Amino acid sequence: MFGLIDCNNFFVSCERVFNPALRDRPVIVFSNNDGCAVALSNEAKALGLKRGNPFFQIKAFCSANGVIALSGNHRLYGDMSSRVMATVSSLVPAIEIYSIDEAFIRLTENETKDDYAALGRDIVRTVRRSTGIPTAVGIAPTRTLAKVAARFAKKYAGYRGCCVILDEVSRRKALTLTQAGDVWGIGRRLTKKLAAYGLTTAIQVADLTKEQVGSIFNITGERTWRELNGVPCGDAGVDEQPQKQMCCSRSFGDPIDSFEELAAAVTALATTISRRLRKHKLCALSMTVFIYTNTFRHDGGEYSNSAFHAFEEAKSDTMSLVSAATDCLRKIFRRGYGYKKAGILINELSDADAIQQSLFVSHDDRDKRLRLMKAFDAINSASLTHDTVHTASYLPVNEFVRHENSSRCYTTKLADIIKITI
Assess if residue 53 is contained within a domain. Answer: yes
pLDDT classification of 119: cutoffs 50, 70, 90:
very high
Q: Are residues 200 and 81 in the same domain?
A: no
Domain shared by 179 and 280, yes or no? no
In the Cβ-directed half-sphere of 199, how many Cα atoms lie within 13 Å?
24
Task: Assess if residue 418 is contained within a domain.
Answer: no
**Cα→Cα distances 381→108, 131, 336, Å:** 36, 21, 40
Same domain, 341 and 355: yes
Kindly state whether residues 302 and 276 are assigned to the same domain. Answer: yes
Task: Decide: helix, strand or coil at residue 359.
Answer: coil
205, 240, 275 — which closes off a domain?
240
- Say if residue 293 is in the same domain as residue 214: no
The last residue of a domain, from among 210, 240, 270:
240
CATH number at residue 301: 3.30.1490.100
261, 389: one domain: yes
Q: Cα(76)–Cα(70) distance, rounded to whole angstroms?
A: 13
Number of domains in the chain: 3
Indicate if 360 and 334 belong to the same structural domain.
yes
**Beta pairing partners, 179:** 201
CA–CA separation, 212 and 172 (whole Å): 19
Helix (H, G, I), strand (E, B) or coil at 193: helix
CA-nearest of 273, 270, 278, 307 to 394 is: 270
> Would you say residue 422 lies in a domain?
no
Write down the mean pLDDT value for the chain. 86
For residue 65, being part of any structural domain is answered with yes
Q: Are residues 13 and 154 in the same domain?
A: yes
Nearest to 400 by CA among 323, 341, 355, 359: 341
Say if 415 falls within a structural domain. Answer: no
409 lies in some domain: no
Helix, strand, or coil (residue 86): helix
| Cα 270 to Cα 45: distance, rounded to the nearest angstrom | 38
Candidate from 93-102, 258-267, 331-340, 378-387 with smallest mean pLDDT: 378-387
- Label residue 415 by pLDDT band (50, 70, 90): confident
Same domain? 120 vs 258: no
CATH number of the domain that residue 234 is part of: 1.10.150
- What one-letter code names the amino acid at 111? E
More confident residue, 406 or 70: 70
Residue 412 in domain:
no
Same domain, 251 and 190: no
CATH at 29: 3.30.70.270
Instruction: Please give the helix or strand (H or E) that residue 69 lies within, else none.
Output: strand 68-71
Give the pLDDT score at 305: 93
Q: Establish if 421 belongs to a structural domain.
A: no
Domain boundary among 240, 261, 294: 240
What digits encode the pLDDT tens for the residues 318-368?
Answer: 999 999 999 999 999 999 888 988 999 998 888 877 766 666 666 667 778
Identify whether the C-beta of residue 326 lies closer than 8 Å to the C-beta of residue 267: yes
What local confidence, expressed as pLDDT, does residue 239 receive?
A: 44
**Same domain, yes or no: 275 and 357:** yes
Does residue 236 register a pLDDT over 80? no
For residues 152 and 98, state if they share a domain.
Answer: yes
Instruction: Give tens-digit pLDDT for 244-295.
Output: 788 888 888 788 889 998 999 999 899 989 988 998 889 988 999 999 988 7
Residues 167-214: tens digit of each pLDDT: 999 999 999 999 999 999 888 888 999 999 899 999 999 999 988 888
Give the residue ranges of DSSP H helices in 197-317.
Answer: 202-206, 210-216, 219-228, 259-279
* Residue of 72 and 308 predicted with greater confidence: 308
Domain ranges, residue 231: 167-240
